[in-house]
Amino acid sequence: MLLTLWFACVLGSADEAAVTVEVRPGAAALVASGQEQLLSVDFVLTSQSSEELTVGAIELSVLDRAGKLQLRSTVNSDGERPSIDVLGTHRLRPGEPELIMNPFQRLDGALDASELRFEFKLYGKEQVSHATVTLHPRRTTPTAVRLPVEGRLWVFDGDDFYSHHRRFDFVSPTARQLGFRSNVLRHAVDLVLLDAEGATHHGDPDRNESWFGFGRPVLAAAPGTVVAAVDSRPDSRRLDLALLKSDRMAMFGNHAVVKLDSGEFALYAHLRQGSLRCKVGERVREGQQLGSIGASGGSAMPHLHFELQTSSDADGEGQPVRFKGFRRILGSRAVAVRSGIVETGQILEAAPASR
């Protein structure tokens, strides 16, 4: 979705200027999660002003079907900046795109979020300006799949605002030079195996073999057909930048991509070199072993990177995913979860797959 929004000068006498606001992904999605609604949308702002502008505040108004206001919330740069800045410093240089993450990811489940109005407050040297975009999000139910690894798992990165996958800046100069035009990582999860005490490894953490997950089976999360398979890259925990320039999927190291019956593509990444048990064109069943956990590609440690996406390559958009039939570990308690989105930091336990 691409909108050109005109903003008027409030202070000073600068000429009227335009800010182009691109909504990414093109259709904003709302996903129900417990007592909340999760909003998946970000913005790319490009200024045609002759001067540099700074985003000083973002305001969200939530209106119901009748156009009545239910909520108005603002995130701004007021006050002393802490060590972690919530809004961040967003400078719009003339003609250069700037990715701005939506800071209002979570909405109360009781809201009728039929209309969402975002207003950006922009500061120039002598002016304060405003740009507004209105969205009508679609409500969606993510595909439900099984966890692709058995055992006790730490969600190192989940489907939430704080995930590093969620914060991938695909409009940065480096990303654009590499050919990225979207965030295929948007809803990805990183899963790390734990022992009963919550440890991830024993011995030297620089040795892959010290990690409990290294070499553990990776299982098909849902049935489908294998459309891509790479098995030859070393478990070096290093991203091959030279290879990345010609193949953006190199960031995933060894991997398998399975086209699901839903039409989405499931990516299983950072697999162990030589561990693949599937081939392109093969039909796989839920719970079937595809390979083993490794540390290939851009992997900081042995783990499984899993995601759903709209294409088999790095040109698609990441899709939200629900996992089914697992338990959340809450200290000495375990709570059964029939189906749900997993978030960063959670401890899970997957049920054994039927074989």
Domain annotation covers residue 47: yes
- Of 81, 113, 139, the residue that ends a domain is 139
**Residue 158 and residue 124 share a domain:** no
Judgement on whether residues 156 and 89 belong to the same structural domain of the protein: no
Dist CA 188 CA 265 (whole Å) = 12
Predicted local confidence at residue 83, as pLDDT: 58
Question: Is 75 within the bounds of a domain?
Answer: yes
pLDDT at 9: 36
Residues 113 and 31 placed together within one structural domain of the fold: yes
In this prediction, the residues of the chain whose per-residue pLDDT falls under 70 are: 1-17, 79-88, 352-355
pLDDT in tens, 29-64: 899 888 999 998 999 999 888 888 888 899 999 999
Full residue range of the structural domain in which residue 178 is found: 143-350
Q: Are residues 123 and 165 in the same domain?
A: no
State whether 38 and 106 are in the same domain: yes
Structural domain includes residue 355: no
> Which residues have CB under 8 Å from 257's CB, separation 6+?
226, 227, 228, 229, 265, 266, 267, 268, 312
Residue type at 217?
P
Q: Are 119 and 43 in contact (CB under 8 A)?
A: no
CATH number where 10 lies: 2.60.40.10
Cα angle vertex 48, ends 47, 50, to 5°? 105
73 in the same domain as 30:
yes
Question: What are the tokens at 328?
Answer: 């959340």
- Domain contains 94: yes
